[in-house]
Amino acid sequence: MTGANSFQVSGYGPERAGWTRLFARDSMTRRLDWPILLSATALSLMGALLVYSATRNRTELNQGDPYYFLVRHLLNTGIGIALMIATIWLGHRTLRTAVPVLYGASVFLILLVLTPLGSTINGAHSWIKLPGGFSLQPSEFVKITIILGMAMLLAARVDAGDRPYPDHRIVLQALGLAVVPMLIVMLMPDLGSVMVMVIIVLGVLLASGASNRWVFGLLGAGATGAIAVWQLGILDEYQINRFAAFANPELDPAGVGYNTNQARIAIGSGGLTGSGLFHGSQTTGQFVPEQQTDFVFTVAGEELGFLGAGLIIVLLGVVLWRACRIARETSDLYGTIVAAGIVAWFAFQTFENIGMTLGIMPVTGLPLPFVSYGGSSMFAVWMAVGLLQSITAQRPMSA
Amino acid sequence: MTNIPETGRSTRVQTRLVVIQILVLSLLGTLGGRLWYLQIRQGDEYAKEASGNHVQQVVQPAVRGSILDARGVALADNETRLVVSASRTDLLKMKDDGKAVLTKLAGVLGMKPQEVMEKVRLCDAETPQPCWNGSPYQPIPITDEATPKQALQIRERAEDFPGITAEPQAVRRYTSPGKANTAQVLGYLSPVTDEEIQKAQDTESPYLRSDQVGRSGLERQYDKALRGKAGVTRYEVDNLGRVIGQAESDAAQPGSNLVTSIDSRVQRVAEYELNEAMKAARKEMDRNTGRTYEADAGAVVVMEAKTGRVVAMASNPTYDPNAWVGGISAADYKKLTGKDSNYPLLNRATQGQAAPGSIFKVVSSAAAVEAGYDFDGRYDCSSSYSVGGQVFKNFESADNGAITIGRALELSCDTVYYRLAHEEWKKDGGMNPKKPNDYFYKAAHQFGLGKETGIDLPNEVTGRVPDRQWKQEYWEANKDAWCKTGKKDGSYVEKISYENCLEGNKMRAGDSINYSIGQGDTLVTPIQMATIYAAISNGGTLYDPTIGKAVVSPDGKQVDEIEPRSHGKLPISKTTLAKMDDALAGVATRGTAAWRFGGWPQDKIPMHAKTGTAEVYGKQTTSWFATYTKDYAIVMTISQGGTGSGASGPAVRNIYDALYGVSDDGAIDKKKALLPEPVKTLPKIKADGTIASPKVSKDPVKDLQPTDGASEAATEQGGNAPADPQDQQATVNPPDTGNRQTRRRKRRARA
């Protein structure tokens, strides 16, 4: 992926076909960012084990089949990888042209959630029930749509060489594009997703080279908004409680602080090497709620210890590190913005999710990328990986 | 093309990307650091918390050891019953504190809702029984007599009865083998209190919340041995309390069994005879008060003379110890402890005390010999004895001339003792004593009076020897009241108070004279007198009375025998003792008790006896009857029951008949004898640790009676009615042989 390869543009010639083409020196496979791919795969597989450990005894959830969640997690991973391949196949640039369609579809889906077709899980009305026991969480895909849409708007003039930076009008347009779905998601109310989107918008704006005034202005607006939300009582009680419990987990160990407390006990009791997979008493005893989704990290903490849980952080670190590199090394601003948006997304979700299990962040319902059980999230993060791969693979073609 | 952006890629974007990267990595670093802090730095703490989280203790109560009689018959054991309990914690979670559930439960159990509520309320200073004095976190038993149908109803409709459980549990059972109740000796159990748990926390045998503790009798005395050790199983549980694994378990260790020296058959006979004697006394007219005798309480002790072991101990009024099992009801509790209850929980044999009357004369006789009087000397048995204008009459004012001390015992001549005691009082300095010898008081102490006998039952009372020291202490405690109410020319009571106020601390001549025949302020317990008469029988050794004979471990491998222990010797020489023995045999053959032992095979089983009729101010006389053979001592007393031989005589005779198999005509039928000699060995312990028990007859009393049981009730009444006037006369004039049969007559009539 260094400069040497970048001259082999002719690798797409029609004379090569099949496996030969796939593994040729200048082939697509060689151009992929393997550290990200391998880390993401490793995380997904670890996730499968952890989800299995967390759910094999939860008969009220797994419908009597201990492998129910394991199989589904693996299936989700497979579909996710397929979506990644499709994304690479299409290429992030092709997708740029499809932004209006994607955007329209996303907004339609999240609006659909607000209709009686949507269903509520843990206070958030953010799911669409599908036949066959599947459910869809459109807000996950909105994250991608926002990144692609904003990147398209912000990079268009710059990549065309008209301007060095996006101007105010374009920034306003981009913000408008992001705010519409964010408001809808807020109505669900899925505060966690909104927070992720805010961070994504920030990351996108930063990477676009937009004026500092926008960046700080947005930070200020975010803070004001947060205070307003708090003061105006838009938040539901359960959301306020989560913050209260974060501030003082000992407040009510049987009620609000229960999640936080049990999560911390689970992780803390893991020690250096953990109690061994499937041997965690906190996990087996189901003391931590939502352990296969939002609190999946506690399984790693308890059963795999510092080494195992640390490995998850390291693997996510690899993904983020490589994604940052892709953002920096991509020559077109569109690719940079997309990559940076993904970095902001992954980074925030990782920090928030692990942080809440460690008791340094308030509890919000955000999945840990690749590891948590959940189809929509899995599909979205693998599609994001596909975007990253597309950016790094097609880099030479830019400019 | 290179990685370094050329067109349009500004340093601004590049810088910002580096900032983002650094920010992202520092966030990850923060997570790693926090992870290290939780897992490595504080890991141990959280591990501890985690184990506390998922481990639940389940306590399996130890099966309480049985209490067995000398032959291995269970007096108290356990049975499995369906116990319905309520969890207070669960009930209080309901909006109405579980009232609806309890009311519904009362309906199923056929109880009153009120009754159920009372059982689950907690005891405190203002809440009377019934209430729960155990831990509020422990399921509270509501009934242990649920039928399987009721239990099923509760279990099948669990959603209708949240917090209510119906489970089989081992509960105490007082078996009353052959109708032997043995209530006061066995005692009873009730749940442990918080205070007791705290007190026993750091001792060798801490209590568990669910423990039942012996509250009286043997249950209390041998609580530690009987209780065993509860088993604790620690289960790993999940967040809903479902068991996911067993961490460790200490099996419950059942309690040891207690073999006693009680013989349930003799116990039954003793209880029956005591009750019959009291029933009979209530039909007797008391000449002094013009009413029938109250016979409000009584006790009888049957003791092995050579060991001090108690073969039977009955106390009346009595109660059913099973009333305590599974929590006592309000009505029952009131019946047992209320003002009008006459306190059936008291064991009158060890906790009842009264003036001994003439059965005390063995002490005075020994004291006289100690003081230098010849046992065979001649002493005037005049009809009365006067001191300073006060006349002390002989019983029935009889004048028997000059007689020996032995004969004085036989005839129960009071004036002989008056004279001896008065002389000694004068020798000791009268009202101004100088280094008094106090032979009569010293002897009482040497006989073990005024202190506990050391029987293995809790809360034994000491009785009282009214010596100089006691007089002084008593006066100091009461003089203010006496001096306030006392009047020189007032009523009898006021006069007494006046006298007491002036010189109540001094030993007056009248005190010593009354004391010498067991009257006045002297108090003794039946068990003390049984110990003394057993000592006279065995050659002078005062044994600590015992009921426990051996503690047998549940597997039967360890048998801790409880050996007889002595707490002193009688202050009597061998020769004097032999003479006293003769005199007491004389009482049974030609003295005051002779009319009760008509036809007794004296040549084969020498019988010794002493009667006593103690006067109590404001009450009817206390009947005492102390007897012994070479094997047994039997002491019976009936409060407000009449004379010694009159009220207690027939019952004691009947107990001896049962023990030795003696029939009314004096023939000895060894087959009928319940216990011709004391049981020396322990019952057989089987290989599995259980103790072999012989077949238990339905009612030993009926077995002993020659007629069939069906007609008994009728015969009893019919036999008793015509005997009444004679009985009454007998009380007045005991030695009259014409009145030899009171209740025994009915037997003869039937035979």
Q: Count of CB atoms within 10 A of residue A209's CB?
A: 26
| pLDDT classification of B717: cutoffs 50, 70, 90 | very low
Q: Count of CB atoms within 10 A of residue B48's CB?
A: 13
Instruction: Choose among B102, B197, B225: nearest CA to B562.
Output: B225
Asked whether the beta carbons of residue A272 and residue B244 sit closer than 8 angstroms, the reply is no
Residue B728 in this model has a pLDDT that exceeds 60: no
What pLDDT does residue B727 have? 35
Interface test with A, best of B27, B37, B39, B40 (most A CBs within 10 A): B39
Asked whether the beta carbons of residue A264 and residue B53 sit closer than 8 angstroms, the reply is no
Asked whether the beta carbons of residue A347 and residue B17 sit closer than 8 angstroms, the reply is no
Interface test with A, best of B2, B3, B4, B89 (most A CBs within 10 A): B3
Which residue in B9, B20, B35 is closest to A309 by CB distance? B35
Which residue in B6, B24, B43 is closest to A320 by CB distance? B24
**Mean pLDDT confidence for A148-171:** 89
- Tell me the backbone φ, ψ of residue B298, rounded to 5 degrees: -165, 165
Partnered with residue B190 across adjacent β-strands are B213
Asked whether the beta carbons of residue A165 and residue B43 sit closer than 8 angstroms, the reply is no
CA distance B513 to B421: 6
Contacts with A355 from chain B: Cβ below 8 Å: 30-31, 34
Contacts with B10 from chain A: Cβ below 8 Å: 164-165, 209
Asked whether the beta carbons of residue A206 and residue B35 sit closer than 8 angstroms, the reply is no
**Mean pLDDT confidence for A280-299:** 82
Contact present, B264 and B75 (Cβ < 8 Å): yes
Instruction: Choose among B252, B239, B251: nearest CA to B55.
Output: B239
Residue B674 CB partners (closer than 8 Å, separation 6+): B263, B265, B266, B269, B658, B659, B661, B700, B704
Contacts with A358 from chain B: Cβ below 8 Å: 31, 34-35, 38
CA B73, B74, B77: angle at the middle one, nearest 5? 165
pLDDT above 90 coverage of chain B, percent: 43
Interface of B with A in 19-58 (CB under 8 A): 19-21, 23-25, 27-28, 30-32, 34-36, 38-40, 42-47, 49-51, 53-54
Residue with tokens 């097609």: A394
B2 touches chain A (CB under 8 A): yes
Residue B585 CB partners (closer than 8 Å, separation 6+): B602, B606, B607, B608
* pLDDT per position as a tens digit, B47-56: 877 776 666 6
Contacts with B5 from chain A: Cβ below 8 Å: 331
CA distance B50 to A264: 10
| Shortest alpha-carbon distance between residue A9 and chain B (Å) | 11
Which residue in A165, A266, A268 is closest to B42 by CB distance? A268
**Interface predicted TM-score (ipTM) of this complex, two decimals:** 0.89
* pLDDT per position as a tens digit, B544-567: 999 999 999 988 888 999 999 999
Which residue in B1, B28, B244 is closest to A396 by CB distance? B1
| Shortest alpha-carbon distance between residue B88 and chain A (Å) | 19
What letter represents residue B135's amino acid? Answer: S
Across A212-216, B21-25, B260-264, B363-367, least confident range: A212-216
Across A66-80, B248-262, B569-583, least confident range: B248-262
Contacts with B49 from chain A: Cβ below 8 Å: 265, 268-269
Q: Tokens representing B464?
A: 């009282």
Contacts with B20 from chain A: Cβ below 8 Å: 203, 206-207, 324, 327, 340, 343-344
Which residue in A2, A281, A351 is closest to B54 by CB distance? A281
Interface test with B, best of A265, A267, A356 (most B CBs within 10 A): A265
Contacts with A207 from chain B: Cβ below 8 Å: 13, 16-17, 20
Contacts with A327 from chain B: Cβ below 8 Å: 17, 20
| Shortest alpha-carbon distance between residue A268 and chain B (Å) | 4
| Shortest alpha-carbon distance between residue B57 and chain A (Å) | 15
In this structure, chain B runs to a length of 751
| Start-to-end C-alpha separation, chain A | 17
State which H helix or E strand residue B381 sits in. Answer: strand B379-381
**A101, burial (CB in 10 Å: exposed 0-12, middle 13-18, buried 19+):** exposed
Which residue in B17, B35, B240 is closest to A313 by CB distance? B35
Instruction: Choose among B656, B634, B635, B638: nearest CA to B647.
Output: B638
- B235-262 as b/e, with b when 16 or more CB fall inside 10 Å? bbbbeeeeeeeeeeeeebbbbbbbbbbb
Asked whether the beta carbons of residue B31 and residue A351 sit closer than 8 angstroms, the reply is yes
pLDDT above 70 coverage of chain B, percent: 87
* pLDDT per position as a tens digit, B600-630: 999 999 999 999 999 888 889 999 999 999 9
Q: Count of CB atoms within 10 A of residue B388's CB?
A: 7
Q: Count of CB atoms within 10 A of residue A148's CB?
A: 23
What pLDDT does residue A141 have? 92
Interface of B with A in 193-252 (CB under 8 A): 236-240, 244-245
**Mean pLDDT confidence for B253-272:** 93
What pLDDT does residue B741 have? 38
Asked whether the beta carbons of residue A321 and residue B21 sit closer than 8 angstroms, the reply is yes
Asked whether the beta carbons of residue A265 and residue B16 sit closer than 8 angstroms, the reply is no
Asked whether the beta carbons of residue A320 and residue B46 sit closer than 8 angstroms, the reply is no
**Mean pLDDT confidence for B586-613:** 91
Q: Where are the alpha helices (DSSP H) in B377-467?
A: 405-411, 414-427, 439-446
Asked whether the beta carbons of residue B24 and residue A284 sit closer than 8 angstroms, the reply is no
Q: Tokens representing B334?
A: 């009131």
pTM beyond 0.90: the answer is no
Q: Tokens representing A258?
A: 């229960």
Asked whether the beta carbons of residue B12 and residue A209 sit closer than 8 angstroms, the reply is yes
Instruction: Choose among A279, A258, A280, A251: nearest CA to A267.
Output: A280
Which residue in A161, A269, A306 is closest to B35 by CB distance? A306
Residue B227 CB partners (closer than 8 Å, separation 6+): B62, B64, B65, B205, B211, B213, B214, B255
Interface test with A, best of B4, B9, B89, B240 (most A CBs within 10 A): B9
Asked whether the beta carbons of residue B39 and residue A343 sit closer than 8 angstroms, the reply is no
* pLDDT per position as a tens digit, B408-460: 999 899 999 999 999 999 999 888 888 888 999 999 999 999 999 999 999 99
**B232, burial (CB in 10 Å: exposed 0-12, middle 13-18, buried 19+):** middle
Interface test with A, best of B1, B22, B40, B89 (most A CBs within 10 A): B1
Instruction: Choose among B332, B411, B323, B340: nearest CA to B592.
Output: B411
Across B128-137, B443-452, B633-642, least confident range: B128-137
Residue B742 in this model has a pLDDT that exceeds 50: no
Across A68-72, B141-145, B234-238, least confident range: B234-238
Strands (E), B544-674: 548-552, 559-561, 566-569, 608-614, 622-628, 632-639
What pLDDT does residue B196 have? 81
C-beta pairs of A242-249 under 8 Å, 24+ apart in sequence:
A242/A362, A242/A363, A242/A364, A243/A362, A245/A362, A245/A363, A246/A356, A246/A359, A246/A361, A246/A362, A246/A363, A249/A359
Asked whether the beta carbons of residue B236 and residue A285 sit closer than 8 angstroms, the reply is yes
Asked whether the beta carbons of residue A209 and residue B20 sit closer than 8 angstroms, the reply is no
**Closest residue of B to A211, CA-based?**
B12
Q: Count of CB atoms within 10 A of residue A399's CB?
A: 14
Interface of B with A in 645-674 (CB under 8 A): none
**Mean pLDDT confidence for B130-159:** 79
CA distance B450 to B472: 16
* pLDDT per position as a tens digit, A16-68: 556 666 666 667 777 889 999 999 999 999 999 999 999 887 777 777 788 98
Contact present, B533 and B635 (Cβ < 8 Å): yes
**Closest residue of A to B246, CA-based?**
A281
CA distance B704 to B718: 19
CA distance A87 to A66: 33
Three-state SS for B638-687 is EECCCCHHHHHHHHHHHHHHHHHCECCCCCECCCCCCCCCCCCCCCCECC
Q: Tally the C-alpha atoms within 13 A of residue B265's C-alpha that lie toward its C-beta.
A: 25
Asked whether the beta carbons of residue A329 and residue B27 sit closer than 8 angstroms, the reply is no
| pLDDT classification of B22: cutoffs 50, 70, 90 | very high
CA distance B381 to B402: 6
